[in-house]
Amino acid sequence: MSTNAQLPFDRLKTEFDALILRLRTEQLGRVLDNIPAYTDLRFDAHNGPSSPFKLHLGDYSNVEVFACFDGSAHGIVARALKYPERIGKRYVFPNTPEAFGQLPKCKLVAPFSWSIHLKKGIREQIDDVPLALVKYYLCMRAVEMGDERSLLMIPEHRHLVEALVSIQESEVYQAQVPAPPKGLVRIPKVRERNLVEAGLARTNGNDKDPKVRPKDSAANTLRNNFEIGETNKSQFGQMSHTLGMSIISFQVD
């Protein structure tokens, strides 16, 4: 997989899809599914050599902060009541030992705001780990929008993994995305009917949230074989279990 060369759109799409699949096999799919989608973020036009867009990272006082695919970050004055002529002009960030992403004035957008590790890397030349997440969003937008003008590079795998793990371990993420209860497996809606009819699922009273009953022998068999719970966050795949004369197949995310 190429990570250090600009790719034409068709190859970018292929390699980016492969990267996402690899992350999911490494049990990071839950994080990808629970961070803001690219549609939740803001992209502004950019005249850079690789990407025609830049990512809005947040605000620093009255300045909007943008990240570019080349790893640079810059500010654009968005509000200036005393000096309106400064609006739209470039802003020079203060020269401090801390990254400006850590300063109280800087209000980053999610998920960059969730992890102190990411905040520490938001500076005029963005560190490798938060930059991998910036590239992830810019690539995601280009692929999903079919933007063939983009000549991007795939984010460095190890840096993107580090970014996602830092998000997963953050207090904000843990509070917003609690781990599923041990011994219970949430069943995708596409498989609910078979499980309910087979008596393998129970509901929470409104028949909208079936769960596998740990006390059922079938569920116990599955748990013994696959360690149902927090330790199993990857996709089980298709599994068949015979109950009398019926064969029930279901898939667990």
Pairwise pLDDT comparison (218 vs 20), residue with the higher score: 20
How many Cα atoms occupy the beta-carbon half-sphere of 117 within 13 Å?
Answer: 19
Contact 78, 84 (CB under 8 A): no
Question: Would you place residue 89 in the very low, low, confident or very high pLDDT band (cuts 50, 70, 90)?
Answer: confident
**222: helix, strand or coil:** helix
pLDDT at 201: 44
Tokens of 212: 């596998």
Percent of the chain with pLDDT over 90: 39
> What pTM did the predictor assign?
0.67
Is residue 77 pLDDT above 60, yes or no?
A: yes
Rounded to the nearest integer, the mean pLDDT of the chain is 74
109-133 pLDDT tens trace: 999 999 999 999 998 899 999 999 9
Q: What is the DSSP string of 61-105?
A: TTEEEEE-TTSBEEEEE---SS-GGGTTSEEPPP--SS-GGGSTT
Report pLDDT for 32. Answer: 96
Is the model's pLDDT at 72 over the cut of 70?
Answer: yes
**Residue pair 156/3 in contact by the 8 Å Cβ criterion:** yes
Average pLDDT over residues 88-103: 73
Q: Which residues contact 68 (CB under 8 A, 6 or more apart)?
A: 46, 48, 51, 54, 55, 74
